[in-house]
């Protein structure tokens, strides 16, 4: 399909429109313009130069041309549930080791998108994050949401050993440290 391409210096030339793609921030179009290139043996030959362009900045329709048959990629519209819930937080949790700062073994579990979480830390699964938070000297960061359903009701994040008959908050026997 012919399309008018606006060059950086304001000139307009007729090129070809090959495809349209919808992005979250708008549309881009794959257009080409005819140009020349030098060959290895010193000759000049015509070629087509293709580029993705924002139509509002660089393209204008040719009068009388229908673009209905141009291949078009559209973004799937969000489901009703996604529209209501909004964007999802990244899944997973990361562990921040505080041992070097405090001199004793301590760690904090952060949501993956927490601003205080260490960068480039490996992601933990739900079970790994709960195990890490259940360890002695460990806990969840207060300024971020804890892993869903990991905090029991009434605000106690880690029950005392007496309340769990020596078992951790997930009902597992607490790990005992071996001496010597």
130-180: per-residue pLDDT in tens? 887 777 766 666 544 444 433 333 333 444 444 444 444 455 554 544 444
Which pLDDT score, from 0 to 100, does residue 171 have?
Answer: 52
Asked if pLDDT for residue 3 goes beyond 90, the answer is yes
The CA radius of gyration of the chain, in Å to the nearest whole number, is: 29
User: Which residue shows structure tokens 């030959």?
Assistant: 45
Q: Is 52 helix (H, G, I), strand (E, B) or coil?
A: strand
Q: Is 35 helix (H, G, I), strand (E, B) or coil?
A: strand
Read off φ and ψ for residue 70, nearest 5 degrees: -70, 130
Burial string for 68-77 (b: 16+ CB within 10 Å, else e) reads: eeeeeeeeee
| Token pair for 13 | 């030339």
Tell me the pLDDT band of 35, cut-offs 50, 70 and 90. Answer: very high
Task: Report d(CA 178, CA 180) in Å as an integer.
Answer: 7
Which pLDDT score, from 0 to 100, does residue 81 have?
Answer: 83
Which pLDDT score, from 0 to 100, does residue 139 have?
Answer: 65
Q: Is 128 helix (H, G, I), strand (E, B) or coil?
A: helix
Tell me the pLDDT band of 75, cut-offs 50, 70 and 90. Answer: confident
Which pLDDT score, from 0 to 100, does residue 147 have?
Answer: 42
Task: Report d(CA 166, CA 120) in Å as an integer.
Answer: 35
Read off φ and ψ for residue 59, nearest 5 degrees: -130, 145
């Amino acid at each position: 399909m012919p399309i008018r391409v606006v060059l950086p210096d304001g000139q307009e030339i007729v090129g070809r429109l090959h495809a349209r793609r919808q992005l979250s921030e708008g549309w881009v179009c794959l257009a080409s313009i005819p140009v020349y290139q030098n060959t290895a043996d010193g000759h000049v030959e015509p070629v087509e130069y293709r580029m993705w362009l924002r139509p509002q900045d660089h393209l204008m329709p040719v009068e009388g041309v229908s673009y209905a048959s141009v291949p078009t990629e559209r973004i799937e519209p969000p489901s009703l549930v996604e529209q209501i819930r909004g964007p999802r937080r990244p899944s997973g949790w990361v562990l921040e080791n505080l041992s070097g700062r405090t001199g004793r073994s301590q760690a904090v579990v952060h949501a993956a998108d927490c601003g205080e979480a260490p960068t480039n830390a490996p992601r933990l699964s739900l079970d790994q994050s709960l195990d890490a938070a259940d360890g002695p000297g460990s806990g969840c960061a207060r300024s971020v949401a804890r892993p869903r359903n990991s905090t029991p009701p009434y605000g106690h994040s880690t029950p005392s050993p007496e309340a769990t008959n020596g078992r951790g908050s997930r009902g597992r026997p607490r790990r005992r440290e071996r001496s010597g």
